Every structure is written in C-alpha cells, then in structure tokens.
Amino acid sequence: MSDLNEARAAVEGARQGCDLPVFCTFSFDTHGRTSMGVSPPQAAQAMAALGVPAVGANCGHAPEELLDILPQMREAAPDAYLIAKPNAGIPRMAKRQVVYDATPERMADLAVRYVELGACIVGTCCGSSPAYIVAVREAVLSDA
C-alpha cells in the first residue's frame, strides 16, 4: 500500500465476511515515505488504530532501507508484529536481462538483521526466487 485511505479501505474490505487476521504492508521509497507521502510511523499507527496485528514494508528500492523503516514502525506500534518483505534491489537491464543486485546471500544476511530489529514475518518481493527464500530461511533459523 502507499496511501492510508486505500489501506484502510483494503483492511475493511478484507474483514467483510472473514474472521482471519488482516496484515498490511506498505512500499516505501528512497526518501523513507510511500509514493503518497506516508511515513513508516504514520503507517504503523494507522494500522494499529484499526486493530491490524501485523504491519510492515514490502517491495521498495533497496533491501537495506528496511533497516531504518522497521525501528520506526516498532516505535510507533510496539505491539504490532513486524513484516519485512523487500525487493532484491531495483531492476536494471544487463545484456537484455532484468537483473537485481541483491543476491540470495545478501538478502539472507539482511533477514537476520530484520529479525534482530523485531520482524517476525520475513520474506522477499520482486527480483527474488525460491533460492532467496531458502537462503533467508536457513540464515534466520541458524541464527535463532
């Protein structure tokens, strides 16, 4: 999500006729805000006010950006479960192939740091593959 009104509507819609918990993630850019100007604390506070048990960041530009975003969300919504699902970087073209710069190993190293910052739901987004998920899983479990 990038807009608080859109996120609120999505949460309300997801809850209609369903008793499952609803989680919400936001995509932040290099300025630490969503494309609609929402900051991590604003997103976390708004979702906490709606009773959303888990909030976090997905997609984005560089996976390292979550190292700044997660603590802001934790401070704003200390009881929320944190979610970290970054891109493997920004896509670029190399020899007619779309390439992402963050390797599975880099994403795994960062996943350990996300957990240290309080994330309990960790995954990946654009540019990843099953190899990324395996690397993240192994790193997080071996560090536990």
Residue 144 has pLDDT above 70, yes or no: no
Residue 51 has pLDDT above 80, yes or no: yes
Instruction: Report, as an integer, the average pLDDT of 96-112.
Output: 94
Q: Residue ranges per domain, the chain? A: 4-143
Tell me the pTM: 0.94
Residue 63 binned pLDDT confidence (cut-offs 50, 70, 90): very high
Query: What is the CA 101 to chain-centroid distance, rounded?
Result: 18
Lay out the sheet containing 81-86: strands in order across: 23-26, 54-59, 81-86, 119-122
What is the pLDDT, as a whole number, of residue 141? 93
What is the pLDDT, as a whole number, of residue 31? 87
Q: What is the dihedral of CA 9, 33, 27, 108, to 10 degrees?
A: -140
Rounded Cα distance between 28 and 36, Å, is 9
Class of domain 4-143: alpha beta
